Amino acid sequence: MAEFYPDGMLFLAIASVLYVCGFVFLYGVVRIAVRHGIEDVDLRRERAAQAPERARLLERTVVRENAFLAGS
């Protein structure tokens, strides 16, 4: 087995570096995903807060366009 891995410490060092780089990359991916998730939640919260105003404007538009249905 020693003929395939002439320097076991070198293999261990390379494996450790790749392991650490993988965790750093994974941390970055998770961080970006969480940031985008928080931005999406903020956007949905803003839209939910504006929903009553939009519904009222839509109702006015519908009544204006269909005055015969509103009895005006």
Over residues 13-69, the pLDDT tens digits come to: 999 999 999 999 999 999 999 999 999 999 999 988 888 888 887 777 777 777 777
For residue 2, pLDDT over 60 is answered with: no
| Contact by Cβ (8 Å): 5, 11 | yes
Q: pTM of the predicted model, to two decimals?
A: 0.56
Q: Under 8 Å CB-to-CB from 11, ≥6 apart: which residues?
A: 5
